[in-house]
Structure 1
Amino acid sequence: MSTAQAPDDTPEYGPEGTTDPEPPVNRDPLAVILGNASFFNVGYLMLGRRGLAAVTGLVTLILLIILGTAARTLWFEIVVLLWWTALVGHGWYLAQGWPRGRHRGGSRSRLILGAAFFLPVLLAFSLLRVHVASINSRVAAAVRTGDCRRVAAALDDRWAGDYLANAPGAVQGAGTGRVCGELGETAARLAAVVTNSDPNSLPPELKNLSAVLATHPDDDKLVLRTLDDFLGRLPLSNPCDTTTVLDTLGSYSTRDAVRDRAKAVVPRLAPAALVGCGDREFQSKDWNGAKSSYQRLLDDYPQSPLAPKAFIGLIAANQAIELDHVRTGLGAGSDTSYCSNPATWSGATPYRAASPNRAVLRGDSAYTNQLPADWVVDDVAKAPLVICVSPKEQGDIVQSCEYQSGSVLTSLYGTNTVSFHKIAVPIRVIEVLTGHVVANLFVQVDGTICPAVISYTTYGSFDTGPSPDEYVDAPDTDVSAAVRDALAPIISP
C-alpha cells in the first residue's frame, strides 16, 4: 500500500529553508491605493504602518479643517489635492514591495475593504460638488432676477462639507451674499422712510445704492430691485411727504442706473402727490403752501388729468388769501380804515345778487342798533358789502339864533350868534368783490332848535360865550331810524 504526502503549503522564508524573523505583509497595491484615497489612510493600516497612518491622518485632519474654515481658496484646495496625491502615490509605492522580495499576492477581502472606504468618500465628494454647483446655479438665477431673498435662501443651504468638497465653489456666492446683506440694511432704512414718513433719510440711502452699484456692477439687478421695492411702496400716507420724496428722487444727481430708475417714477406719482398735498395744506389753512402745490402741478404737468382740479384749487387758495387780506384790513369793530383802502375778495357774492345784501359793519355803532338783524353778519365771507359808519358830524345849518351871555360878577354882557346844525352821519358802503364804492351817504337828521337857554362852560373869569355851532336836539332813535332808512335801498332794494 502506497502513501502520499500532502504538499507542504507552509511558505519558506529565506533561502534554503532559513526562517525570516519578520513575516511578510500581504500587499495589494490597488487595495492600498483605494484605502489611502479615502483620506482615512486605511492603506497604511493594511501595510501594518500604524504610526505612519496616525501621523499622516493627523496632517490630513489639520489640512481639511483649514480648508473648511480658514483657507477656502483654490490654492489651498490644490495643496490638499497634492497631499492626497502624495498619500495615494506613497501607498502605491509601499504596496509594490519595498524593500523588494516581500510582495505576496493580493487579497480580495482587502480590495473590498479599501473600496468600502473609498467609494463612499468618492460618492459623498461627488454629491457635495453637485450640491455646491446647485447652490451657485440658484444664486446666479436669483442675481439675474435681482432677488436677494433667494440669494440668501440658497447660501443658507451651504454647510461645512461643501467647503471640503469644493471650497472655491462654496465661497463663490459669498460676495453676492455680502452685497445682499448691505442691500438688506439699506432696504430696511428705505422701509423706514415709508413707515415713518421720514423723507429726510432718503438721500443717504440713494448714495448707498449708487456706491454698491459702482463697486459691484455685475449685481446691478440686485441694487435696482432694492430700489424698485422701495419705489413700489410709494406714495406715502402723507402726500406732502410724498412730494418731498419725489423731489429728492428727481433731483438726485449721481449719473447711474439708480438715478435713471428714480427719476422715471416721478412723473407717474407727482401729479397726485401735488394735488393731495395742496388739498392737505388747504385744509390746514396754509393757503400759500396750497397755492404753491397747485401751481407746481400746473407748471410741471399741464397735460395731467389732475390739472383742472389743481386749477380749481389754485383759485380757491387765491381766494382764501384774499379773504385773509380783507379780514386783516377790516380790523376791529370801530376801525374804518378799510373803506379808505379796501381789499378785494374774488370769492365774494356780487352786490345785488341776493336780497338782502348782507353787510359787515365797521365804525361808530351808536346809530346802527336799529338795523334789521338779517342785514348784518359778523363774517365778511358771508357779506357782499362792508358798511363803514363814521362818527356824527355837523350837517346843514337849520337856523341861527342870538344869545346873550356874560359874567354876573363882572357885569360884562355880550350877544352871541349860535348856528344849529343837523346831525349828520357819514356812511360809506363798499362792495367786497370789487372794492368799489356802492354808496357814499351823508345822512342828516333835523331836530329842535334855538332853546331858550344854552349851557356852556367858562374857565375862571374868562368867558368866551357859547359855541357858535351846535347840534339840533334830536333823539338817537331818530338818527338810527334815518340811518336805517338811508341804507334800506342799498341793502334790501
Structure 2
Amino acid sequence: MRDDRIATAVGNASLLGVGYLLLRRWRLAMTAQLITVALVLILMAEKALWCEIALVVWWVAVIAHGWALGGKPGTRRVAEQRLIALCVTVPVLVAGGFFRYEATGIQREVAEARAAGDCAGVTAAEQKARYGDRIADAAGIERLGVDLEACAQLREIAARLRTTWAGDTEVLADEFEKLTAVLTKPGQDKTVEKVLDEYLGTVTKGGPCPTVKLATWLRNRTQTHTVLDKANPVGDRLVPDAQFACAQSEAKAGQWRAASYRYQELIGQYPSAAITPKARAALAVVALKVQLLDLRNLIAAGQYCDNPAAYGGAPKYRRGVNRALFLGETNDYIAQLPRQWQTTVPTNASVVICTEAVEDGPAIETCPYTREGQSYTFYRTFRKVVVPVKIYALRTGRLVRDGKVTINGEACPMIYTDTSGLLPPIGGTISTPVEPSDANVRAAFQPLLVLSSKSR
C-alpha cells in the first residue's frame, strides 16, 4: 500500500493538516494547524484583503505540498485515505462556501437598504452576520461597519436637528457640516437624503417665527452640489408664509414695529408671492399702529410740537367741525371752547393745535380806576388776548396754519377787582387783558376748527 497523493492533497485542502496526518507527519500537521489558526486570527483582526490572499496562498501551498509528499509506502488503502480526506475537507469547504454565500447576501441586503436610505434596514441586515460569515468574508463584512457607523452618525444628527425647531441656526449649521462629512463616505447619498427630507418636513414645528430663522438659513446656505442643496428651495418656499404668520403673531401681541419690519421684509423679498397681497394689507394696518404709538410717545414726552408726526388713521381736516388736540402752553381760554371742538384722545383729533404763551393784543380802551382805600387815580388799558398757534393736520403731520388767534372781550368794567396785590403808580397805565366770554373764545377759534368750503 502507498500513500495516495490525491488523498493527501484533499486532506490538506481542509486547512486542518489532515493530509499530513494521513502521512503520519505529526509535526507538519500541528504546524499547519497552528499557521491556519494564526492566519484566521490575523484575518479576523485586520479584516483586510491581503489577509484573505495570504490564506488562499497558504491553502494552495499545503495542497501542493501534500501532493508532493504523497506516493510513498503507507499503511492504509487508497480508498480509505480518500474517504477520510473527503469526510473532513468537504464539510469544511461546503461550510466555507455557504458562509461566503451568506455574507454576500448580507452585503447585498445592506446595499439595498442603504440605496433606499433605510438605516434601520442596514442595521437589521448587518446583525444577521454570524461568526462564520465574518471568517468567510471578513473584509466584506468589515466594510459594512462603514455603513453602520454612518447610520449611527445620522441618527445623532437627526436627533440634534430636532433641537433646532426653536430657531437655533448655529446648531443647524453644525449638523449640515456633519451631513456633508457623512456624504464623503461611499454610497451614503440616500441615507443622508432621508435624514434631510425628514428634517425639512418638520422645520415648521417650532412655530412661524423660529421657522423664519431656519428657512432663511436654509435658503441662504452655500450650495455644495450635493443632495443637501435641495434644502435651499425648500427654505425659499417656506419663508414667505412663515414670515407672514410670524408678523401676524407679533401684531397680535402688540409688537407693532417688529411686525411692520417683517411685513416690509416679506414684501421686498417676495413681491410676487401669493401671500404678499395679504402682507401689504396687513402692513397698512400695522403702519397705523406704529404711527399711533409714535404719536403717543411724542405727546407723552411733550415733543410733538417740535417734531410733528403723521397719523394716517386720524380724521381728515376738512369742511365742518374738526376736533383739536391742544398741546403746548396751557391757558384758561381753551377750556371755554365747546367740548365737540376739542379732545384728549389722539385718534379722535383732526388737528393738533400747538399753543404758545399768551401775548398782549391790540388796545381796545383805557379807563381810570381807583383802588379801594386809595385817593389817587391810575389807568388800565384793556387789550385783546393773543394766542400764538401752529396748527398741524394730524393725518399728514403737515403745518396748515401758523399764526395768532386774537380773542376779544369785555373792556372797562364798572368795577375791576385787582388781585395782583401790586400798587400801581399814580397816574400810570397798566395793560390788562380783556375778559372774554365763551362766545368770544368760540368766535376766535371757530375759523380754525369749523371750516367752510372757502376756509382752506
TM-score by length of 1: 0.74
Contact 2:323 2:449 (C-alpha < 8 Å) held by counterparts: no
Given that 2:382 and 2:411 are in contact with CA atoms closer than 8 Å, whether structure 1 keeps it comes out as no
Counterpart check, 1:279 vs 2:242: no
CA contact (8 A) 1:361 1:388 kept: yes
Q: Are residues 1:87 and 2:87 paired?
A: no
How many angstroms apart in 2 are the aligned matches of 1:78 and 1:452? 129
Q: Name the residue aligned to 1:342.
A: 308
Is 1:199 the equivalent of 2:161?
no
Where does residue 33 of structure 2 map in the other structure? 57
Q: Secondary structure at the match of 2:77?
A: coil
Structure 2 residue aligned with 1:105, among 53, 62, 77? 77
In the TM superposition, what whole-angstrom CA distance separates every residue of 1:307-344 from its partner, at most 9, and x where no partner exists?
10111122233323322332233235xx4x63575321
Question: Which residue is 2:413 aligned to?
Answer: 449
Query: 5+ unaligned residues in a row in structure 2: which ranges?
Result: none
Tell me, what secondary structure is at the counterpart of 2:304? Answer: helix
CA distance in structure 2 between the aligned counterparts of 1:134 and 1:311, rounded to whole angstroms: 61
Q: Which secondary structure state, in structure 2, belongs to the residue aligned with residue 235 of structure 1?
A: helix
From 356, 360, 381, the equivalent of 1:419 is 381
Structure 2 equivalent of residue 14 of structure 1: none
Residue 76 of structure 1 aligns to which amino acid in structure 2? C
- Residue matched to 2:220: 251
Residue of structure 2 equivalent to 1:433? 395
Matched, 1:269 2:233: no
Aligned residue identity for 1:83: W
- Name which of 107, 110, 122 aligns with 1:151: 122
Secondary structure of the 1:346 match is coil
Indicate conservation of the 8 Å contact 1:193/1:199, yes or no.
yes
Deviation, 1:492, is 12
Structure 1: where are the runs of 5+ without partners? 1-23
**One-letter amino acid of the counterpart of residue 269, structure 1:** L
Cα deviation for residue 209 of structure 1 reads 3.5
The worse-fitting range, judged by mean Cα deviation, of 132-141 and 34-43 is 34-43
Count of aligned pairs between the two proteins? 449
Measure, in 2, the Cα distance between the counterparts of 1:106 and 1:372.
136
Same amino acid, percent of matched pairs: 31
Offset at residue 418 of structure 1 (A): 1.0
**Partner-residue secondary structure (3-state), 1:242:** helix
- Alignment RMSD: 4.3
Q: 1:91 to 1:283 in 2, by over 3 A?
A: same
Shift of 1:368: 5.5
Cα distance in structure 2, aligned partners of 1:212 and 1:29? 54
C-alpha separation between the residues in 2 aligned to 1:455 and 1:296? 64
Distance in 2 between the 1:120 and 1:465 partners?
146
1:64 is matched by which residue type in structure 2? Answer: V
Note if contact 1:385-1:430 (Cα within 8 Å) is conserved in structure 2. Answer: yes
Q: Distance in 2 between matches of 1:43 and 1:248?
A: 70
Deviation, 1:256, is 2.0
Which stretch shifts more, 483-492 or 355-364? 483-492
Q: What are the within-5 Å matches in structure 2 for residues 255-404 of structure 1?
A: 255-258=224-227, 260-331=229-300, 335=302, 338-339=304-305, 342-351=308-317, 360-363=325-328, 364=330, 366=332, 378-386=344-352, 388=354, 394=360, 397=363, 399-403=365-369
Q: CA deviation at 1:198?
A: 0.6
Q: Secondary structure at the match of 2:123?
A: helix
1:73 aligns with 2:48: yes
C-alpha separation between the residues in 1 aligned to 2:348 and 2:127? 71
1:128–1:181 distance in 2 versus 1, CA, 3 Å: same
Give the Cα separation in 1 of the matches to 2:391 and 2:353. 5
CA shift for structure 1 position 138: 2.2
The answer to whether the aligner puts 1:165 opposite 2:136 as a matched pair is yes
AA aligned to 1:106 is V
> Could you give the per-residue CA deviations for residues 28-85 of structure 1, whole angstroms, max 9, x where no partner exists?
55555444433343444444444443333222222211111x2212221121122223
Contact 2:12 2:19 (C-alpha < 8 Å) held by counterparts: yes
d(CA) in 2 for partners of 1:287, 1:39: 84
Q: Whole-Å Cα distance in 2 between the matches of residues 429 and 247 of structure 1?
A: 47
Q: Deviations along 1:110-150, whole A, 9 cap, x unmatched?
A: 65554343333223212211122112222332343344443
User: Partners in 2 of 1:484 and 1:66 — Cα distance?
Assistant: 113
AA partner of residue 394 (structure 2): V
Q: Are the counterparts in 2 of residues 32 and 114 from structure 1 also a CA contact under 8 Å? A: yes
Q: Which residue does the alignment assign to 1:124?
A: 95
Asked whether the 8 Å contact 1:35–1:117 carries over to 2, the reply is yes
Moved more, 263-272 or 291-300: 291-300
Distance across 1 between alignment mates of 2:67 and 2:417:
154
- The letter for the 2-side match of 1:102 is G
CA distance in 2 between counterparts of 1:280 and 1:492 reads 42
Counterpart-to-counterpart distance in 1, 2:300 and 2:224: 55
Please tell me whether Structure 1 or Structure 2 has the larger radius of gyration of its CA atoms: 1
Deviations 1:399-427, CA, capped at 9 Å, x for gaps: 3212468x99xxxx975321134566667
C-alpha distance in structure 1 between counterparts of 2:94 and 2:281, whole Å: 77
- Greater CA deviation, 313-322 or 392-401? 392-401
